[in-house]
């Protein structure tokens, strides 16, 4: 049987989409967590961090219940927007965004908090709005944190197994990502195929992390 590259392709498509979505959600969220002084911030912080300690099967189970067409949320989505999240690729994306959220938010939040407040104040006094200060002063000065957040979220999504299995099942071409394909091949005693998937994942993850560490050294050198 010819080797099926589909699961690997699907894995990287998923990781790329999740990372982009996490930029859009994660950066404002990290900014808010770093600067806000409202009391219920701690509650949000806890919720964001939950995927770090929760077994993926628990998270996957509850997400499956929520996404199911029998639930209020799932049926509403399906009826009004025609989106089915359970056992679909979009479901995988939503679940992975939630599951990888702390990996994007934590480094960026720490980055924001490590910046001296005076930099922000200097920009305000020089007449720059919050938005402009964020884009032109704060973000450029936390490049290493942005890089770690991006890479951790990306790599974590590639390595995802439990949540993906619970929410996506194992549908070839839609939700069968590489980590699940490995499991399947091993179950079928097809070790050489499993080995190929595993090696590709290993190689790519190693290359990504190595590039990041090299880049990070360069970035730190210029700051």
Binding positions for other proteins, rule: CB under 8 A: 116, 118-119, 121-129, 136-137, 140-141, 222-223
Closest CA to 219 of 119, 131, 150: 150
Tokens of 57: 């099967």
Q: How far is the CB of 41 from other proteins (least distance, A)?
A: 22
Indicate the residue among 25 and 110 with the shorter CB distance to other proteins: 110
Q: How far is the CB of 204 from other proteins (least distance, A)?
A: 31
Q: How far is the CB of 152 from other proteins (least distance, A)?
A: 23
Q: How far is the CB of 179 from other proteins (least distance, A)?
A: 38
Indicate the residue among 13 and 143 with the shorter CB distance to other proteins: 143
Owner of token pair 């360069």: 218
Indicate the residue among 80 and 131 with the shorter CB distance to other proteins: 131
Query: Please, are residues 145 and 127 in contact by the beta-carbon 8 Å criterion?
Result: no
Q: How far is the CB of 126 from other proteins (least distance, A)?
A: 5
Indicate the residue among 137 and 215 with the shorter CB distance to other proteins: 137
Indicate the residue among 79 and 136 with the shorter CB distance to other proteins: 136
DSSP assignment string, 80-144: HH----TTSHHHHHHHHHHHHHHHHHHHHHHHHHHS-HHHHHHHHHTT--HHHHIIIIIHHHTHH
Owner of token pair 């509650």: 43
CA dihedral 105, 111, 114, 120 (to 10 degrees): -100
Q: CA–CA separation, 43 vs 58, rounded Å?
A: 20
């Amino acid at each position: 049987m010819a080797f099926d590259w589909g699961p690997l392709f699907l894995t990287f498509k998923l990781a790329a989409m999740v990372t982009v979505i996490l930029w859009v959600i994660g950066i404002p969220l990290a900014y808010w967590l770093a600067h806000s002084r409202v009391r219920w911030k701690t509650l949000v912080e806890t919720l964001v961090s939950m995927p770090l300690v929760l077994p993926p099967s628990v998270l996957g189970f509850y997400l499956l219940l929520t996404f199911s067409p029998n639930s209020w949320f799932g049926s509403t989505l399906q009826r009004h927007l025609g989106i089915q999240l359970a056992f679909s690729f979009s479901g995988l994306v939503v679940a992975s965004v939630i599951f990888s959220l702390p990996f994007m938010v934590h480094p960026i939040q720490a980055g924001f908090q490590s910046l001296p407040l005076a930099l922000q104040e200097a920009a305000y006094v020089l007449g720059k709005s919050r938005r402009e200060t964020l884009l032109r002063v704060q973000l450029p000065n936390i490049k290493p944190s942005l890089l770690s957040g991006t890479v951790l979220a990306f790599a974590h999504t590639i390595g995802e197994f439990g949540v993906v299995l619970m929410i996506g099942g194992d549908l070839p071409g839609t939700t069968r990502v590489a980590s699940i394909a490995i499991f399947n091949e091993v179950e079928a005693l097809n070790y050489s195929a499993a080995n190929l998937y595993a090696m590709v994942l290993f190689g790519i993850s190693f290359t990504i992390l190595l590039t990041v560490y090299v880049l990070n050294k360069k970035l730190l050198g210029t700051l």
